[in-house]
Amino acid sequence: MKSLNKVQLIGNITRDPELKYTGTGTAVCTFTIATNRSWNTDTGEKKEEADFTRIVAWQKLAEICGQLLKKGRKVYVEGRLSNRSYQDKDGVTKYITEVVISDMILLDSKGEQVSGGEETFEIPDNLDEVVASSEEKPKKKNEKKEEVVADDIPF
């Protein structure tokens, strides 16, 4: 019997993504997406609720997410649900549920300005070229990678 672990979300990014690199140089990017829903109660009162989901991207997709995503952007992500646990510095077991993505699509229009809190971002008209060039992007001579230490990724 087959099983399926697939998650698809459309939502707004709640904070700028955080791009880091492991000790072996693998890119990892984390961010959170807010998804909203609304419904009417039996009394006719309109209710709204937001769910916040932690998203993790690895390798080239992580670098693309780190380059293109900003707070407030609307995005589609697809991936798998991952549950894991670890012990913090005090020995307390912590549990994390997150979506490890394999695909990401920006849902904002090209050339449109997107508000990300206090800043405004211009989506480039050559977005496809930016994404393609990021896959073959050579490292700059003085580019400093932020290294991920074991305490940052608890697994």
The pLDDT of 57-80, averaged and rounded, is 95
In a domain, 154, yes or no: no
Q: What percent of the chain has pLDDT over 90?
A: 68
**Is 144 domain-assigned?**
no
Does 96 fall in a domain?
Answer: yes
- Residue identified by tokens 């992007």 is 137
Q: Is this prediction's pTM over 0.75?
A: no
Domain holding 95, by residue range, is: 7-39+48-135
User: Is residue 146 in some structural domain?
Assistant: no
Return the DSSP state at 148: P
Per-residue pLDDT band for 151 (boundaries 50, 70, 90) equals low
CATH code assigned at 86 = 2.40.50.140
Determine, yes or no, domain membership for 64. Answer: yes
Which residues on neighbouring strands pair with residue 27, listed in sequence order?
Answer: 21
pLDDT at 108: 81
Cα(49)–Cα(59) distance, integer angstroms: 33
Predicted pLDDT of residue 1? 87
Distance CA 31, CA 59 (A): 15
Residue 146 has pLDDT above 80, yes or no: no
Task: Tell whether 141 is covered by a domain.
Answer: no
Total structural domains in the chain?
Answer: 1
Q: Dihedral through CA 55, CA 60, CA 66, CA 71, nearest 10?
A: -40
pLDDT digit string (tens) for 10-42? 999 999 999 999 999 999 999 999 999 999 999
- Res 3 pLDDT > 80: yes
Write the pLDDT tens digit of every residue in 129-144.
444 444 444 444 444 5
Q: Is position 142 within any domain?
A: no
Q: Are 82 and 64 in contact, with CB atoms under 8 Å apart?
A: no
The verdict on residue 127 lying in a domain is yes
